[in-house]
Amino acid sequence: MTQTIQIEPSMTMEQILKAAPSAQRALFQRYHIGGCSSCGFQPTDTLAQVCKDHNILDVPEVVRTIQLSEDVDRRVQIGATEIKRWLDEKRDFSLIDVRTPDELAIAKLAAAEPLDYQNPGKYMSLPKDRTIVFMCRSGMRSLDVAAYFIGHGFTNVHSMTGGILAWSAQVDPSVPRY
């Protein structure tokens, strides 16, 4: 059962982002708010003020958008130990590491394919129901990538909670933490 995050228009963006980390991504995806300096907001701005500044009249809909994004984030996250179990079971899925080449040089998983930034179309041609797990250092960038794929119609997308740091802490302590 999902727990709905309580968000009020009088809350500051700092409070909202603390309660609902996916709010930044949700606001940008749906309303183009918060992704650049021209559409940004200050942490001290209230949600009501942000909506007013961006000519959004339906503040309750913005609240619902944030709440739904938190629900999606909870559903797509999968733990490192579950991924390890899938690998041990030889389950058919794609494990894609979205970290930079410099990060991959520090620590990587043999089972993970580095994201091919030179050929992004390669992934868009995968079957929309393909099981895909994205991973990064801490689980935040991989959530962004998972949200991107969900937005493009993929239905079985996950993000490894805690990223390679969780893998090192929960599965294989020999994997360097950085």
- Residue range 100-115: mean pLDDT, rounded: 96
Query: Residue 97 in 3-state DSSP?
Result: strand
- Cα separation, 69 vs 124, in Å, equals 22
Q: Is 136 labeled as catalytic in the residue annotation?
A: yes
Report all structural domains of the chain as residue ranges with CATH numbers, in order of start: 13-76 (no CATH), 79-170 (3.40.250.10)
Q: Are the C-beta atoms of residues 97 and 37 closer than 8 Å to each other? A: no
Average pLDDT, the chain: 92
Neighbours of 79 (CB within 10 A): 17
| pLDDT 10s digits, 14-57 | 999 999 988 988 898 889 898 777 788 999 999 999 999 999 99
**147: closest CA among 162, 135, 130, 159?**
159
Kindly indicate the confidence band of residue 3, based on its pLDDT and cuts at 50, 70 and 90: low
| pLDDT 10s digits, 55-94 | 999 999 999 999 988 888 889 999 999 999 999 999 999 9
- Cα separation, 106 vs 39, in Å, equals 35
Predicted local confidence at residue 1, as pLDDT? 45
